[in-house]
């Protein structure tokens, strides 16, 4: 038997709508945990205005995932967005040049060529997007992630869409 759980001194109702697969089946409640007897929150905690609000960062990343053809697997797009942001801020990792030189010394010219191409891509991303989409002192510090996401959308359009392509 699961003991009663409390939140801030008040008694919450326990979830009895457990489906056996770790989910609450009551569409009007939000489960805080998974399983029979876990605490659920009623619809009174929901803010009707919150449902009307948009999340521009999420919207842009979902759009990019669709362009990349990997939606709804958004985590793949998040990994590429992380790489892209790093390239915008820092350019190519200095360690890549050392790896390219080591590959050349080991006569692995295909790896060296790949690494040099990656260096050029990452440095090119920094040169193109750093000044206009990342930076401090321009009065837009609170929009930094949105601005980086907008730059990422441009990058995705160029990389994944041809002139005729449409994404779902």
Cα–Cα dist 80/55, whole Å? 19
Mean pLDDT of the chain: 77
pLDDT of 42 higher than 50: yes
The pLDDT assigned to 141 comes to 64
- Residues 43-69 have a mean pLDDT of 74
The pLDDT assigned to 139 comes to 64
Please tell me the least confidently modeled range out of 55-59, 76-80, 108-112, 119-123: 55-59
Spatial CA neighbour of 42 closest among 8, 19, 11, 21: 11
Interior/surface letters 70-79, b for 16+ CB within 10 angstroms, e for the rest: ebeebeebee
The pLDDT assigned to 43 comes to 53
The pLDDT assigned to 3 comes to 46
pLDDT of 98 higher than 80: yes
The pLDDT assigned to 108 comes to 92
- Residues 18-44 have a mean pLDDT of 57
129 alpha-carbon distance from chain centroid: 19
In the 3-class helix/strand/coil scheme, how is the chain assigned residue by residue?
CCCCCEECCEECCECCCECCCCCECCCCCEECCCCCCCEEECHHHCCHHHHHCCCHHHHHHHHHHHHHCCCCCHHHHHHHHHHHHHHHHHCCCHHHHHHHHHHHHCCCHHHHHHHHHHHHHHHHHHHHHHHHHCCCCCCCHHHHHHHHHHHHHHHHHHHHCCCCCCCC
The pLDDT assigned to 134 comes to 82
The pLDDT assigned to 7 comes to 46
């Amino acid at each position: 038997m699961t003991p009663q759980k409390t939140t801030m001194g008040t008694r919450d109702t326990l979830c009895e709508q457990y489906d056996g697969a770790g989910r609450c089946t009551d569409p009007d409640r939000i489960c805080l945990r998974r399983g029979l007897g876990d605490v659920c929150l009623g619809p009174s905690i929901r803010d009707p205005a919150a449902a009307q609000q948009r999340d521009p960062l999420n919207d842009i990343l979902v759009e990019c995932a669709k362009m990349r053809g990997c939606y709804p697997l958004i985590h793949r797009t998040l990994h590429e967005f992380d790489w892209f942001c790093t390239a915008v801020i820092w350019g190519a990792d200095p360690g890549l040049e050392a790896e390219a030189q080591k590959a050349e010394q080991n006569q692995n010219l295909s790896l060296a060529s790949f690494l040099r191409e990656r260096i050029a891509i990452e440095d090119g991303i920094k040169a193109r997007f750093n000044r206009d989409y990342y930076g401090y002192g321009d009065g837009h510090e609170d929009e930094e992630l949105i601005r980086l996401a907008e730059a990422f959308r441009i990058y995705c359009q160029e990389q994944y869409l041809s002139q005729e392509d449409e994404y779902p």
